[in-house]
Amino acid sequence: MCSSDLTPLVFGEDFILRGDPVPGQPELDAPLVFVGFGSIGQGVLPLILRHIGGMTPDRITIVTAEPAGAAEAAGGRGGGNPRLTAMNNAFFAVLQHDFAARLKWSVTPNFKDANHEPMVKIVGSRDLDARVGATVNLRGSVSDPDNNKVTTKWWQYNEAGTYTADIAVADANALETSFRVPDDATPGQTIHFILEATDDGTPTLTRYQRVVVTVRP
């Protein structure tokens, strides 16, 4: 997205067809994020790289839940290699289901005729300290306002933590589980674990809670 102090870029017909710079237009001095990368995004990417001064592939991030357009992002007509991130693949469907449920709420007068998100909580502190080699206990609780069945899963949020190597938990699907702080962790690093809870309503709805463990000397 463009920073607020930049003059908006105008894609006039002459500019796109001839490829000439638009007089008076500044270079784009900001990162650019594509949210979704369908046919429009795939078509616009090469134009941006070709015609906007200062825009290089390493400053472009593409957030998409679909593999479509991966070849375009990796090079092809775009002539570069923007960051194609799939980090939200796990969240994209959840967001879509949440949106669908909210639409249902807006047209359904009876609470029981729509699905509602489960409640998930961390039992105890969500910010913990632990030394290398220590066992960290994780504990959560869940409930559902519609009395739907709720499945749970603990998973490591590598993108958020500064210790990024994979850590196994004793039982990923149990509300109470544990993990051992790895020997190669260093003081000051953080390890993030997410408790994910998903109900079996229609559409399925998911909620999250996070525990952050800081490695201490």
Owning domain of residue 39: 13-85
Distance CA 25, CA 46 (A): 19
Q: Where is pLDDT greater, at 210 or 54?
A: 210
138 within some domain: yes
pLDDT in tens, 79-129: 456 665 544 456 778 888 998 999 999 999 999 999 999 999 999 999 999
- State whether 138 and 202 are in the same domain: yes
| CATH code: domain of residue 42 | 3.40.50.720
3-state helix, strand, coil in the chain (%, to 5): 25, 30, 45
66 within domain boundaries: yes
Does residue 76 sit in the same domain as residue 119?
A: no
Inform me whether the pLDDT recorded for 12 exceeds 80.
Answer: no
The 3-state secondary structure of 31-89 reads: CEEEECCCHHHHHHHHHHHHHCCCCCHHHEEEECCCCCCHHHHHCHHHCCCCEEECCCH
The confidence score (pLDDT) of residue 6 equals 38
Question: Could you say which of 85, 106, 136 is where a domain stops?
Answer: 85
Note the pLDDT of residue 135: 98
pTM of the model: 0.65
Q: Kindly report, residue by residue over 52-66, the tens digit of the pLDDT.
A: 877 778 788 877 766
Please indicate, yes or no, if residue 90 is contained in any of the structural domains. Answer: no
Q: Residue 139 sits in a domain of what CATH number? A: 2.60.40.10
Pair 74, 135 in one domain: no
